[in-house]
Amino acid sequence: MRLNIVRVSPRYSRSYPVFIGSGILGELGELLASHTDLEPSRCLVAFQGPVASLASKASSSLEGFCRAVDEYRLPDGEEAKSLERVLELVRYMHDHNYSRSDIVVIVGGGAASDAAGMAAALYKRGIPYINIPTTLLSMVDAAIGGKVAVNYGGVKNVLGAFYQPSAVVEDVDTLSTLPWEEVLSGLGEIVKYAYTLNAKLHRMLREHGVNVAKKPSLLADAIVEGVKSKARIVELDEREEYGVREILNFGHTFGHALEAATGIRHGIAVAWGCVVEAWAGVKLGYTPERVARELEQLVESMGFPKPGLPSFERLEALMRRDKKVRGERIRGVFTLAPGRGAVIEVMLHEYLEAIRWGASRVWGDKREQH
Ligand SMILES: NC(=O)c1ccc[n+]([C@@H]2O[C@H](COP(=O)([O-])OP(=O)(O)OC[C@H]3O[C@@H](n4cnc5c(N)ncnc54)[C@H](O)[C@@H]3O)[C@@H](O)[C@H]2O)c1
Ligand SMILES: [Zn+2]
């Protein structure tokens, strides 16, 4: 498969390449040598347990590029995303005398890049880092855009920074060991792009459904399209100053609440969030009914597991804490047509009512209390 390069050119940061291809992890050193101006003497490969063998592959490939390659194992999943764990990584760099011309190479999903990216942002006011996402979700979303963060005081992503990577290397072959639930989670974000930003992804999903993730060539195309959509928004609104980046939040108001109340994987909650928010858009007059109907059928046919519906009171309490709430109003994200979304400020109580209507449509009478 050919190598695709998508460039991200954010307003406040240097532009960087996203490499997407098959088997490119073994060429990591050459890719960085030929496409970046980094000249590190040390590379620190930070990784999580389930991708240890991918991390060693990255390390070997970096041998010609850096004079010394060290490996650092992060705790797995969200465990890595605490200030304490980030400071342990910072301490490692400090004790080993890392300088600002050295680099951190992060191998893993969004949790690894959020946490180790945060350490890279803090250490010496910023040491360059490379993202090597190994989950579908991080390939199309978390690894691009420079949001790094940890959880604090029981709140997700509340401490963080905007700090862009110097390059992102996405080898689709690394996904072969990813559990199916995690693949679906990534597909949830792809559904989101399909109904707000990317008509090509919409056509692919309509035509191939969940097979988009099963056939390597389709998957690589879908990843390229997802990366392009994310990159475009990051370029327009790197630091969420203009309300443009909010479009990426389609499906996330209901989705985050569903995720918090049920514990299902983020992107799976987002897929159902897209469905419910599309119906809310119908109720409020922004979304054509046929679009919501089609989106619901798509999510059902792709086999996203559907959790029981928690009590609406619980969901509503969670949605009231959404970052798009502005007093009595909310900046709602709606799909207007496949590939086209919009952020529209509406009254919060009307929005919640529309969401409630949408959710009871999607769950029918089978409401469960949690
Ligand atoms: N910074 C952003 O813009 C952004 C965007 C979206 C999500 N996020 C964050 O990303 C995190 C979720 O990321 P995620 O969905 O990638 O999950 P994750 O990072 O939690 O990874 C899920 C699990 O899969 C394992 N794994 C990763 N790659 C694997 C592979 N190839 N084979 C087998 N196992 C593998 C991980 O080690 C982990 O156990 C959340 O913390 C979320 O807040 C950040
Ligand atoms: Zn998301």
Q: What pLDDT is stored for residue 142 in this prediction?
A: 98
pLDDT of 42 over the 50 cut:
yes
Q: Does residue 317 sit in the same domain as residue 292?
A: yes
Give the 3-state secondary structure of residue 183.
helix
Pairing relationship of beta strands 167-171 and 16-21 according to DSSP bridges = parallel
Structure tokens at 73: 């194992």
Dihedral of the CA atoms 228, 231, 236, 239 (nearest 10)? 160
Residue 128 sits in a domain of what CATH number? 3.40.50.1970
pTM above 0.95, yes or no: yes
> Do 230 and 11 meet the contact criterion of CB atoms below 8 Å apart?
no
In a domain, 152, yes or no: yes
Q: Does residue 139 sit in the same domain as residue 203?
A: no
In a domain, 370, yes or no: no
* Host H or E run for residue 71: strand 68-74
Q: Does residue 72 sit in the same domain as residue 206?
A: no
* Host H or E run for residue 336: strand 329-337
Domain range for 171: 4-177
Judged by its nearest atom, the ligand closest to the C-alpha of residue 179 is: 1
pLDDT tens digits along 310-336: 999 999 999 999 999 999 999 999 999
Q: Does residue 228 sit in the same domain as residue 302?
A: yes
pLDDT of 366 over the 70 cut:
no
pLDDT of 51 over the 70 cut:
yes
Which ligand 1 atom is at minimum distance from the Cα of 49?
Answer: 37
> Mean per-residue pLDDT for 176-188?
98
Which ligand 1 atom is at minimum distance from the Cα of 117?
Answer: 1
> Mean per-residue pLDDT for 350-361?
98
pLDDT tens digits along 254-290: 999 999 999 999 999 999 999 999 999 999 999 999 9
Nearest CA to ligand 1 atom 33: 178
pLDDT tens digits along 111-161: 999 999 999 999 999 999 999 999 999 999 999 999 999 999 988 999 999
pLDDT of 187 over the 50 cut:
yes
> Mean per-residue pLDDT for 29-50?
97
Confirm or reject: Cβ of 186 under 6 Å from ligand 1: no
In a domain, 368, yes or no: no
Q: What pLDDT is stored for residue 2 in this prediction?
A: 81
Q: What pLDDT is stored for residue 365 in this prediction?
A: 56
Distances in Å between the Cα of 229 and the Cα atoms of 193, 197, 259, 343 are 7, 6, 24, 16
Q: Does residue 100 sit in the same domain as residue 157?
A: yes
Q: Say how many Å lie between the CA of residue 175 and the centre of ligand 1.
A: 12
Q: What percentage of the chain has pLDDT greater than the value 90? A: 97
Confirm or reject: Cβ of 197 under 6 Å from ligand 1: no
Q: What percentage of the chain has pLDDT greater than the value 70? A: 98
Confirm or reject: Cβ of 77 under 6 Å from ligand 1: yes
Q: How many residues are given for the chain?
A: 370
List all residues 6 or more positions away from 246 whose beta carbon is below 8 Å from its beta carbon. Answer: 240, 324, 331, 333, 343
Q: Say how many Å lie between the CA of residue 99 and the centre of ligand 2.
A: 33
pLDDT of 205 over the 90 cut:
yes
Q: Say how many Å lie between the CA of residue 222 and the centre of ligand 2.
A: 16
Q: What pLDDT is stored for residue 370 in this prediction?
A: 41
Q: What pLDDT is stored for residue 1 in this prediction?
A: 60
Number of domains in the chain: 2
Which ligand 1 atom is at minimum distance from the Cα of 138?
Answer: 16
